[in-house]
Amino acid sequence: MSLEVTPDSSSRGPVFFHRLELNAILRVYGRMVAAGEWRDYSLGGHDDSAVFAVFKRSGDEPLYTIEKRPALQRRQGQWAIHGQGGLVLKRGHELEQVLRFFDRRRFSVVE
């Protein structure tokens, strides 16, 4: 009688951001803090995803969440930006491309 171990989702453990991924996210976060748009953040590692949430005020609901979900890597892309209420604002395979969503907020109309 042989015992065969098959990998399942519960044996993988929680998903976290790698150092280079976190550096890219924190670069955007620093730029938005300097602009006065964001003030706080939180990190979460779950069994199927890692989440970086940004807040305008620390007691509020997150303005945006940047999510890494490796199970979607070959389908829709493992990276997603969610707005308030959970609406997916941007999704993609490459983190840098997804983070460009925040670049368009750099320019504003001044009268």
Digit-coded pLDDT (tens) for 49-94: 889 999 987 678 889 999 988 888 788 888 999 988 888 988 999 9
Domain ranges for the chain: 14-102
Please tell me the chain's helix, strand, coil percentages from 3-state DSSP, rounded to the nearest 5.
35, 25, 45
Helix, strand, or coil here: 24?
helix
The radius of gyration computed from the CA coordinates of the chain, to the nearest angstrom, equals 17
Digit-coded pLDDT (tens) for 39-49: 899 998 888 88
Q: Is the pTM value of this prediction over 0.85?
A: no
